[in-house]
Structure 1
Amino acid sequence: MGLSGGRRTRADQSASRHGTRAFDVDAVLCDLDDTLYPQQAWLDGAWHAVARTGTRYGLDEAAFLAALRADAALGSARGGIIDRALATVGGGRPDALITELVTAFRAHRPARLEPYPGVRAALARLRMAGLRLGVVTDGDVAGQEWKVRALGIGAFFDCVVVSDALGGRQWRKPHAAPFREAMKELGVRPERCVVIGDRPEKDVSGAARLDIRAIRVKTGEYRQVPDGPGVWHAAADFATAVDWLLATPGPEPRT
């Protein structure tokens, strides 16, 4: 039980003696892509897989890869990147081709991904401070779960919630459903929770719908996007966000 229940765990007591616990926080919900690791590293491998698959249909691999990268650079979250890249290289849109290319994209499974510097140490500090941790992310369910494994950080988390597993793309952030599901699995209330993520219109807005405090990190593709309303704190990266959170005092703990 966290501090909200009036009881202090051994981890809570140890952390409070060392001054490393924000006492009004029991759990942290972490975004995945561009928050814990640079998504571009995964995307680049996925575009290579798509371009290689296109050669089976007579597409020039280098030209197709360049078209995929160019379109994705305008915003990787936009739909239709593969379709537009095909149009650029004159590949047409036969159904079999589209299906196979999308399958290649979703099936990309790198053996290893590298978190941003300091992420593993920051997650360890959060756990040492007695906090429960969850991932709240959007995307293909198997692919997102694989990323957590490839990053080698799965052991830090009590739950991984992929919004698409709740019923499809309509449940993606900023919808409240994935945040609610994570809090349910962690057994925490909104006021005892903090979200850390890179996208104001998804992570911050989703947290705000449930009155969860949000720390915005300025890493990855959307780092230049203004904070917008609802940001409790902004940090350069995840490790810096955790430094700030653990140094932020909360109410005196109940004994």
Structure 2
Amino acid sequence: MDLIERPPLAVVIDLDDTLFPQGSHLYGAARAVGRAGAAAGLDPVRLSRALRRQFLAGSDRAGTIDRALAAYGIAPDLAAGLIPVLVDAFTAYRPRRLPRYPGALDALLAISSRYPVACLTDGNPAIQRAKLAATGLAEAFTTIVITDELGGRTLRKPHPEGLRQAAETLGVHPSDLVVIGDRPTTDMAVAAALGARSIRVLTGEYAADPDEPAPTAHALDLESAAALLGV
């Protein structure tokens, strides 16, 4: 059904690769890991490049730093002592500023002027809140739900608990939501799980992934998604 003919009562928006390019955060975090590696005698540029190559192969895979050290040529017994230090450096990275997608802030403000809006995001809570601060987007949301705060990694999308919590906080039934996100297997899947409609934005790492599950509508970016909502 047309999103303008039957508009939602509230909107839920993903963060990474929907509002800003996640690669910008990963680039800075890789440099922070390189600096931490330098304290152990590693070449910081070489290490950060090895880590960025792993991110390009799939940013949400587990063991990314482990594989970067292996690619660097570090023996497993030596890597075991380095990994906790490098993971801490990655987690502690706090960017001063992260670039939003063009038009994303104006589109978010336009949507939030008409609808209650939640941000629903997965990941380490400290990292995700640092991203929101660095993009300058936090104040535009009615509420922010970080799924890891609800019960760890097992409650990340497509687990429905985060979206259920967002709907409850916004005061609407999940079926009255529209979810905007970039990744079918998480954003579209969690919407489908609770009967919400969804808009897939074709931005970021997963832009070429198949529509499985299919969204209600497609948009090039958040600006285009806002237009589909009539704002």
Q: TM-score, normalised by structure 1?
A: 0.85
Distance in 1 separating the partners of 2:44 and 2:175 = 51
* 1:35 is the counterpart of 2:18: yes
Partner residue in 1 for 2:91: 106
Distance in 2 separating the partners of 1:84 and 1:229 = 31
Question: Matched residues, percent identical?
Answer: 45
**5+ unaligned residues in a row in structure 2: which ranges?**
none
AA matched with 2:69? L
**Equivalent residue for 1:220, pick from 174, 191, 204:** 204
> Do the aligned residues in 2 keep the contact of 1:215 with 1:241 (CA within 8 Å)?
yes
**Equivalent residue for 2:222, pick from 228, 232, 238:** 238
**5+ unaligned residues in a row in structure 1: which ranges?**
1-20, 248-255
* 1:80 is the counterpart of 2:63: yes
AA matched with 1:106? T
AA matched with 1:199? R
> Do the aligned residues in 1 keep the contact of 2:66 with 2:79 (CA within 8 Å)?
no
AA matched with 1:239? E
Larger of the two Rg values belongs to structure: 1
Q: CA RMSD in A?
A: 1.6
TM-aligned CA deviation for residue 23 of structure 1: 5.2
Distance in 2 separating the partners of 1:56 and 1:229 = 46
AA matched with 2:44? E
Partner residue in 2 for 1:9: none
Q: 1:122 to 1:95 in 2, by over 3 A?
A: same
Write the deviation string for residues 21-78 of structure 1: whole angstroms up to 9, x where unpaired. 7653111100000000000100000000011101111111122122111111111111
**Equivalent residue for 2:54, pick from 71, 77, 95:** 71
**Equivalent residue for 1:167, pick from 129, 134, 151:** 151
Aligned residue pairs, count? 227
Distance in 2 separating the partners of 1:35 and 1:22 = 24
Partner residue in 2 for 1:8: none
After TM superposition, the structure 1 stretch with the greater mean CA deviation from structure 2, 136-145 or 226-235, is 226-235
